[in-house]
Structure 1
Amino acid sequence: MADIKPTRSELINLKKKIKLAQVGHDLLKRKKDGLVQEFFRILDLVKEQRKTLVRNYRASVSKLEIARALEGTASIESIAFALKDEPEVIIHGKSIMGVKVPQITTKFVKRPLLERGYGLIGTSSYTDELVESWENLLEMVVRSVETETTLKRILLEIEKTKRRVSALEYVVIPNMEGAASFIRLRLEEMERENLFRLKRIKKKHEKIAS
């Protein structure tokens, strides 16, 4: 230990690093708090979407069963096969507080009545309601996937940020502060040793002079 001779510039640089680490810790902590708030906001949305999805799914299944009873399974299946363009899902990206999350858009999911591909003659208005209900249901599924994926990614980012905050708070900053404290004490010790050496030299000169 006594052989280690740190310099004041090392202490100054270390203090700067400690300050930067403390600023980074504060920024990460604020980010974590903001992500937690966003997480609970989206969680409420996910819960509401799931309730709506289950409710609309049951209603759509009920409409399907009634349509089969009224018009026959073959007629309903022919309507399904009449669709010319399959639904498309397009995934883009967006950022929420620095977290990359999906932004999903759809094509050919909800269509005007005349663009659905099946003939209007020979089908009832109930069939149109059935198709519309399943189009709406598919749109809800896509929205739900987007929201729940966003929720999972934000949760992962919260966990990662918490680990970084904890590492800075309990490991990195304390270690640097401990190192700074050691350097400061060692410098003070070196100053005392130099002062003692100078006094000895002064006394020696005084003795020679006398």
Structure 2
Amino acid sequence: MAIKDNIKPTRSELLELKKKIALSQSGHKLLKMKRDGLIMEFFEIMDKAKNARAELLRSYEDATQKIAIARAVEGNMAVTSAAFSLKEQPEINLESKNVMGVVVPKIESSGIQKPLQERGYGVIGTTSRIDEAAEAYEKLVEQIIISAEIESAMKKLLEDIEKTKRRVNALEFKVIPELKDAEKFIKLRLEEMERENTFRLKKIKA
């Protein structure tokens, strides 16, 4: 690298640059640890997501089958009437939680699965087919909420993993190499300036 004569760095600039390099290397190490931790957390949640998705599909098939049987036995009018008789709506609260420094959604629900007497429709005027269909759909709704929470957390984690990877790569392949090149340049320039000063002093003495 050609050293320009008009650039005259100082020792304090070199020390400042060394601090920046140390800080960047420390940040790089911490970000790598965070990235690796997030990836491990992501794979753990991904396993939960697979199980939740499989359970969701089972719940959906069960609910679909039971509502079809209820309609066949009771008729569409009776099933629709039972569905509209529900007075209390389920409560769903959206909160947040922290996973490895990443804020992910936390969904809490209540009042989805209800006792038979709290469903609103008359127990005497219906058969167990409607009860079974109602119970199956309550379980389905709960499973949808569980799956939504897990898959939303996965999405958030994946976004943060990508962001952290970009920062790690920027430090590793751009920032730190450029700082080290600058450090090398300043060292060489300081050495050259020192030689020039020594040569001048010798000349003056001579």
Normalising by the smaller structure, the TM-score range is: over 0.9
SS in 1 for 2:124: coil
CA distance in 2, matches of 1:62, 1:112: 21
**Residue correspondence of structure 1 range 72-83 to structure 2 within 5 A:** 72-83=75-86
Q: Which residue of 2 aligns with 1:12?
A: 15
The structure that has the greater radius of gyration is 1
**Residue correspondence of structure 1 range 27-38 to structure 2 within 5 A:** 27-38=30-41
Please state how far the C-alpha of 1:195 moved relative to its aligned partner.
Answer: 0.7
Q: Which residue of 2 aligns with 1:207?
A: none
Deviations 1:148-206, CA, capped at 9 Å, x for gaps: 11101111111110000000000000000000110010000011011111111111xxx
CA distance in 2, matches of 1:64, 1:24: 57
Structure 2 residue 38 is matched with structure 1 residue 50 = no
CA distance in 1, matches of 2:146, 2:188: 61
Q: Which residue of 2 aligns with 1:186?
A: 189
CA distance in 1, matches of 2:132, 2:77: 18
Which AA in structure 2 matches 1:174?
P
CA distance in 1, matches of 2:6, 2:74: 95
Match of 1:127 among 130, 136, 140: 130
Report the TM-score when normalising by structure 1. Answer: 0.94
Q: How many residues align?
A: 203
Which AA in structure 2 matches 1:135?
E
CA distance in 2, matches of 1:5, 1:60: 78
Q: Which residue of 2 aligns with 1:151?
A: 154
SS in 2 for 1:117: coil
Once the two structures are overlaid, the 10-residue window that deviates more, 158-167 or 67-76, is: 67-76
RMSD value, Cα: 1.0
Please state how far the C-alpha of 1:89 moved relative to its aligned partner.
Answer: 2.1
SS in 2 for 1:91: strand
Structure 2 residue 183 is matched with structure 1 residue 165 = no
Once the two structures are overlaid, the 10-residue window that deviates more, 120-129 or 6-15, is: 120-129
Match of 2:109 among 106, 109, 124: 106
Please state how far the C-alpha of 1:107 moved relative to its aligned partner.
Answer: 2.9
The runs of 5 or more residues in structure 2 that have no matched partner are none
CA distance in 2, matches of 1:105, 1:49: 16
**Identical positions, percent:** 54
Superposition misfits of 4+ residues, deviation over 4 angstroms? none
Please state how far the C-alpha of 1:125 moved relative to its aligned partner.
Answer: 2.5
The runs of 5 or more residues in structure 1 that have no matched partner are 204-210
Once the two structures are overlaid, the 10-residue window that deviates more, 32-41 or 104-113, is: 104-113
